[in-house]
Structure 1
Amino acid sequence: MRLDLARIRDAVSAIDPAFLRSPQFRSWPLDTALGCSVTLKVETLNPVRSFKGRGTELVVSRLLSERRYPSVVCASAGNLGQALAYSGARRGVPVAVFAAANANPVKVERMRSLGAAVHLEGDDIERPRALAREYARTEGAFLVEDSLDVDTCEGAATIALELLAGPARPDVLVIALGGGALASGVGYVTRQLSPDTRVIAVQPAGAPAMALSWRARAVVNTDAVDTIADGVAGRHPIPEVLDDLLEVLDDVTLVDEDLIKRGMRLLLECAGLVVEPSAALGVAAVLGEPERFAGLDVATVVCGSNVAPADFRTWTAPPGARSERVSSVRGAPGSPTPGRGA
Structure 2
Amino acid sequence: MTDATLLLDRARSGDESAFAALVGPHRRELQRHCYRILGSLADAEDATQDALLAAWRGIAGFAGHSSLRTWLYRIATRTSLRVAERRPVRVLSWDAHPARDPLGDLGAPDEATAWLDPWIAAVDDPAEAAVRRDTISLAFLAALQQLPPSQRAALILRDVLDFSAAETAEVLDATVASVNSALQRARASRSRANSPRATEDGGADAAQNAVAEGPSVEGPPLEAPDAAQQRAVDAFVAAFEAGDVAGIVRLLADDVRLTMPPLPAWFDGIADVTAFFAERSLVTPWRVRARAVVNGMPALIAEQFAEGAWRPGAIMALGFRGSEISWIASFLDPALLERAGSAS
Shared fold by TM > 0.5? no
Length-normalised TM-score, structure 1: 0.27
Q: Which structure carries more relative contact order (alpha carbon 8 Å, separation 6+)?
A: 1
Structure with higher Rg: it is 2
